[in-house]
């Protein structure tokens, strides 16, 4: 028979085990108290206080009342507006509303769905915070409601101030961890040749030619191509009345030659593509040495294993990545898909925010939301597929490349990337696309983003 001392010791050990036991998985998965964006896993848009109604709005950093402080409240949780003390994300009937944080309508049970997603449940019910059903031929409605537990009831709680990790050593960092300086309309520079009718030529997006851009550290290039009897030509909107037009193969040849001379560099080209696939194939066939450096993520297991290390790409000489904005479906109808000759479909491999911050002068819109979100398309910036994380193209330019405006905007590039676009996409921008990259020190933003990773 055990002695009383042995029995007491066993009881103490058992009690200690109970006290030290981890919290239930569902509770442990609730994020720590702090400030968050409540972000739809379907649309990528944020819950915002709009005059008492709670609606999904385009992510806009610390503007537009989109930040909420999560904290425990009894057995449940509340989300208090960062902008209005005592006002919490709650509901009135089936409508999401801001209510007093002391109200029972402010309480939510939060459960983990995996992959960073959560559900916000009305305690004691089977009602959840959700996006309204999408009407045919329209975007998802702005007002948030309570409803069933479908996909539209999945939310990211995205930290306002995230934890970051130091950038891995050069030999270990992967392609999706790196940020590249990218020239919007790189061909529209007034140096290499004409790109538009005379009046448009007066407002180029860049003022340095492709070779100088390469020397200056530009590693991403946005090019518009149009079809003419001469092949795929670099023009803005139309090649009519363009003097001294430049063919696509000429600029791609410049890039291939640069890569041959700089064996440790990696380049990416984004084609705004208005040519038939056979024309593009013929154009690229004119580039000497293209096949030696062309990177084919579709043939190297990226979708199942993730993006490779930069060092491995360099070692394999896979150093030029080509994207088109055309759709696979349209090319299938034409009988030739572009990826058969090494041009990847951008919507399959990247996410991209809306292309314009507004006009060339005047007020700007810094909100950061998907370029591919409308009545017919929904590719949120937050899209992630198991091991594969799409590369994030961050556009940071206006309708017109006014130098004074670009100088001011580029000086704020890192701020917008970190406060607005990084949380909107839940990933770090990989391509910072700007007008007049040489103004406002856009390169410093690239340097800043290349000091850390965003897990």
Q: Express each pLDDT in 312-337 by its tens digit.
A: 999 999 999 999 999 999 999 889 99
Decide if 389 contacts 176 (C-beta within 8 A): yes
Q: Pick from 59, 22, 156, 15: which is nearest to 421 by CA?
A: 59
Between CA 208 and CA 236 the distance in angstroms is: 17
Q: Report, in this order, helix, strand and coil percent for the chain, each rounded to 5.
A: 30, 30, 45
Between CA 35 and CA 32 the distance in angstroms is: 9
Length of the chain: 455
Q: CA dihedral in degrees (145, 151, 155, 156; nearest 10)?
A: -160
Q: Pick from 347, 195, 183: which is nearest to 338 by CA?
A: 347
Token pair, residue 23, equals 């919290």
Q: Name, in order, each residue with C-beta under 8 angstroms of 18's C-beta and a sequence gap of 6 or more.
A: none
Q: What is the DSSP letter of 417?
A: I
Decide if 236 contacts 196 (C-beta within 8 A): yes
Between CA 395 and CA 400 the distance in angstroms is: 13
Q: Pick from 390, 355, 385: which is nearest to 369 by CA?
A: 355
Decide if 322 contacts 344 (C-beta within 8 A): yes
* Res 16 pLDDT > 90: no
Give the global pTM: 0.92
Collapsing DSSP states into helix, strand and coil, what is residue 389? Answer: coil
Q: List alpha helices for 147-244, DSSP H.
A: 198-201, 210-215
State the pLDDT confidence band at 10, using cuts at 50, 70 and 90.
very low
Burial class (CB in 10 A: 0-12, 13-18, 19+), 298: middle
Decide if 99 contacts 90 (C-beta within 8 A): yes
Burial class (CB in 10 A: 0-12, 13-18, 19+), 23: exposed
Which pLDDT value is given to residue 386? Answer: 80
State the pLDDT confidence band at 113, using cuts at 50, 70 and 90.
very high
Give whole-number Cα distances, 16 to 9, 19, 268, in Å.
10, 5, 57
Which helix (DSSP H) or strand (DSSP E) does residue 152 occupy? none
State the pLDDT confidence band at 24, using cuts at 50, 70 and 90.
very low
Which pLDDT value is given to residue 12? Answer: 40
Which pLDDT value is given to residue 197? Answer: 85
26-35, 56-65, 359-368: which has the minimum mean pLDDT? 26-35
Mean pLDDT (the chain) is 93
User: In the predicted model, what is the mean pLDDT of residues 373-383?
Assistant: 93
Paired sense of beta strands 67-73 and 76-81, if any: antiparallel
* Res 14 pLDDT > 60: no
State the pLDDT confidence band at 27, using cuts at 50, 70 and 90.
very low
Token pair, residue 31, equals 């994020």
User: In the predicted model, what is the mean pLDDT of residues 431-443?
Assistant: 98
121 backbone φψ class: left, alpha, beta (φ>0; ψ -120 to 50): beta
Q: What is the DSSP letter of 396?
A: E
Which pLDDT value is given to residue 6? Answer: 39
Between CA 417 and CA 214 the distance in angstroms is: 23
* Res 26 pLDDT > 70: no
């Amino acid at each position: 028979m055990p002695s009383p001392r042995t029995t007491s010791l066993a009881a103490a050990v058992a009690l200690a085990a109970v006290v030290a036991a981890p919290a239930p998985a569902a509770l442990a998965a609730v994020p720590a108290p702090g400030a968050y964006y409540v972000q739809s896993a379907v649309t990528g848009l944020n819950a915002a206080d709009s005059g008492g109604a709670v609606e999904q709005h385009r992510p806009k950093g610390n503007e537009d009342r989109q930040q909420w402080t999560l904290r425990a409240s009894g057995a449940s949780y509340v989300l208090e507006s960062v902008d209005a003390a005592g006002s919490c994300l709650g509901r009135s009937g089936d409508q999401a509303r801001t209510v007093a944080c002391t109200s029972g309508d402010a309480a939510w049970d939060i459960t983990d769905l995996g992959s960073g997603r959560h559900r916000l449940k009305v305690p004691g019910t089977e009602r959840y915070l959700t996006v309204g059903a999408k009407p045919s031929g329209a975007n998802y409605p702005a007002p948030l409601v309570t409803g069933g537990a479908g996909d539209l009831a999945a939310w990211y709680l995205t930290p306002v101030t995230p934890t970051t990790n130091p950038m891995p050593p050069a030999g270990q960092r992967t392609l999706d961890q790196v940020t590249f300086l990218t020239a919007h309309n790189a061909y529209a520079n007034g140096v290499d040749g004409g790109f538009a009718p005379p009046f448009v030529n007066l407002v180029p997006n860049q003022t340095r030619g492709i070779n100088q851009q390469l020397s200056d550290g530009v590693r991403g290039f946005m090019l518009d191509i149009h079809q003419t009897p001469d092949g795929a030509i670099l023009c803005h909107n139309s090649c009519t009345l363009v003097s001294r037009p430049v063919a696509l193969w000429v600029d791609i040849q410049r890039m291939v030659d640069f890569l041959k001379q700089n064996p440790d560099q990696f380049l990416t080209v984004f084609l705004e593509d208005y040519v038939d696939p056979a024309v593009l194939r013929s154009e690229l066939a004119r580039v000497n040495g293209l096949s030696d450096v062309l990177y084919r993520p579709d043939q190297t297991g990226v979708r199942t294993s993730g993006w490779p290390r930069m060092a491995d790409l360099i070692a394999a000489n896979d150093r030029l990545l080509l994207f088109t904005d055309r759709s696979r479906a349209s090319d299938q109808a034409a009988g030739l898909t572009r990826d058969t000759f090494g041009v990847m479909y951008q919507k399959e491999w990247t996410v991209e925010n809306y292309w314009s911050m507004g006009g060339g002068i005047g007020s700007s819109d810094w909100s950061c939301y998907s370029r591919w979100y409308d009545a017919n398309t929904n590719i949120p910036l937050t899209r992630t597929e198991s091991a594969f994380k799409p590369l994030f193209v961050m556009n940071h330019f206006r309708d017109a490349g006014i130098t004074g405006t670009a100088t001011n905007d580029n000086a704020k590039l890192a701020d917008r990337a970190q406060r607005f676009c990084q949380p909107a996409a839940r990933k770090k921008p990989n391509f910072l696309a700007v007008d007049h990259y040489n103004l406002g020190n856009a390169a410093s933003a690239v340097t800043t983003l290349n000091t850390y990773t965003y897990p």
